[in-house]
Amino acid sequence: MKRGAFLSVGLAVATALAASASAQEAPKSEGKSSTHSAGWPGLGSGSTPQEVQQSLEQAPELNRNLSAREMLAQRRRLDAALRGLASQRAGLADVYVISIALDSDPVFAREAREVGKVLERRYNATDRTLVLAGPDGEDDGLPRGSISALLIALASVAEKMDTSEDVLVLYSTSHGLPQGLAYHYNDDGYGILSPKLMRDTLAELDIEKRLLLISACYSGIFVPALASDNTAIITASAENRTSFGCQPDNDWTFFGDALINRAMRKPQALLMAHREATLSIADWESRMRLPASLPQARIGNAAMNWLSAIEANIPQIATAPVGKPAMGE
C-alpha cells in the first residue's frame, strides 16, 4: 500500500472534520469543553486516494480501548429499548421515530433527546420512538448512538413495521464532513456514516416511506443518494456548506432549534415548518455574519401523500420551545 496516499486522505478527512467542528461551534461560548482531545485517526484503506475514498464510502467504524463491561451494559440498554417498541397496527399508518446523536459532545445528546419527545408527540409515536444518545451532562440512561447501533435499530424497526404502510422518521445530529456524518464518541469511537451505507441499508430493509432529518455540516450530500418518490429529506446544509450552533454546552444546533424546537412544535405542515426554519436560520446567520448554510429539502410525489396522512392528526396546540436558544438570545 502506498502510505502517502493513505495518509493524505486520512489527513483530508481529519482536516474536514476539524473545519466542520470549528464552523459549527461559532460563535464561541464559555462552558463545557468538547469530549474529544485525541486526533482523528485514518479510517480509509487502499493503495491510491481513489481507493481510500471508496473505502470511506463503506462507512468504517473504529472502536478502541473499550471496557468489556461497558460494552455489555450498552448492548443491554439497546436490546431493552428495542424490545420496548410496539409492533405495527394493521390498517394504520404507524410512525416509528429514531432520534440519534452520533457525537458525544453533550449538545447532540440534548438535542436528540428533546427531538425524540417532539416527534413522538407530533406523529403519535408513543411506544414507537427510540432515542440513541450518550450522556448530556445530566442524563446517561439511554443507549448511545453509533453507526452499528443505528444499523441494528433500523433492522429491528423494520421487523416491527409493515413497510407497505408504516413510516420511518429518522433524525440524526452530529458533526459532518464531505464523506458523511461523523461518529465520534469521546476518544474511543470513530466512524463515517456515508450516504451510500444509509441508502443501501434502507433498501435492504425495504424501508421506502421515510422522513429523514439530518443535522450536520455538509449534510446536503445525503439528498441525491437518498431522494426517491417515497422519501422526504431535510438537511441542515447544502453539500458544500457548514451549519452552526453545536458548541458542547449548547442545548440545540441552529437546525434543531429552528426546525424541531420551534417550527415542528406548531400545528403546521412539514413544508411550512421547513420554510419557517429556513428563514429563521438565514436570519440568525445574517445577524452573526456567518456564511449561509443553505438547508435543503426534497419531498417525492408519493411522499407527499403519506406525509399528508401522518400529519392529518398532529396536535393542534403548540408546545413552547425548551432549552437555551441556539442563537444565545
pLDDT digits (tens, 9 = 90+) for 11-33: 455 445 444 444 443 333 334 57
Distance CA 157, CA 76 (A): 17
* Lowest-confidence segment of 88-102, 131-145, 218-232, 236-250 by average pLDDT: 131-145
Provide the terminal-to-terminal Cα distance of the chain, rounded to the nearest Å. 52
pLDDT score of 179 more than 60: yes
- Write down the mean pLDDT value for the chain: 90
Instruction: Compute the Cα dihedral for 234, 239, 240, 242 and give only its sign.
Output: positive
Please tell me the predicted confidence (pLDDT) of residue 135. 78
Phi/psi for 294 (5° steps) reads: 60, 65
Nearest CA to 172 among 244, 127, 123, 222? Answer: 222
pLDDT tens, residue by residue, 189-198? 999 999 999 9
Q: Of 282 and 27, which is predicted with more confidence?
A: 282
pLDDT tens, residue by residue, 91-137? 999 999 999 999 999 999 999 999 999 999 999 999 999 999 987 76
- Please give the grid coordinates belonging to residue 203: 433498501
CA 33 to chain centre: 21
Distance CA 215, CA 198 (A): 15
Please tell me the predicted confidence (pLDDT) of residue 136. 78
Please tell me the predicted confidence (pLDDT) of residue 25. 39
Q: 184: which strand partners? A: 103, 190
Nearest CA to 273 among 209, 318, 221, 208? Answer: 318
Given pLDDT bands bounded at 50, 70 and 90, which one contains residue 327?
A: confident
Please tell me the predicted confidence (pLDDT) of residue 326. 92
Distance CA 244, CA 292 (A): 10
Helix (H), strand (E), coil (C) string for the chain = CCHHHHHHHHHHHHHHHHHHHHHHCCCCCCCCCCCCCCCCCCCCCCCCHHHHHHHHCCCCEEECCCCHHHHHHHHHHHHHHHHCCCCCCCCCCCEEEEEEECECCHHHHHHHHHHHHHHHHHCCCCCCEEEECCCCCCCCCCCCCCHHHHHHHHHHHHHHCCCCCCEEEEEEECCEECCEEEEEECCCEEEEECHHHHHHHHHHCCCCCEEEEEECCCHHHHHHHHCCCCEEEEECCCCCCCCCCCCCCCCCCHHHHHHHHHHHHCCCCHHHHHHHHHHHHHHHHHHCCCCCCCCEEEECHHHHHHHHHHCCCCCCCCCCCCCCCCCCC
pLDDT tens, residue by residue, 134-143? 877 677 789 9
pLDDT score of 308 more than 70: yes
Nearest CA to 52 among 3, 5, 13, 18? Answer: 5
Distance CA 265, CA 6 (A): 46
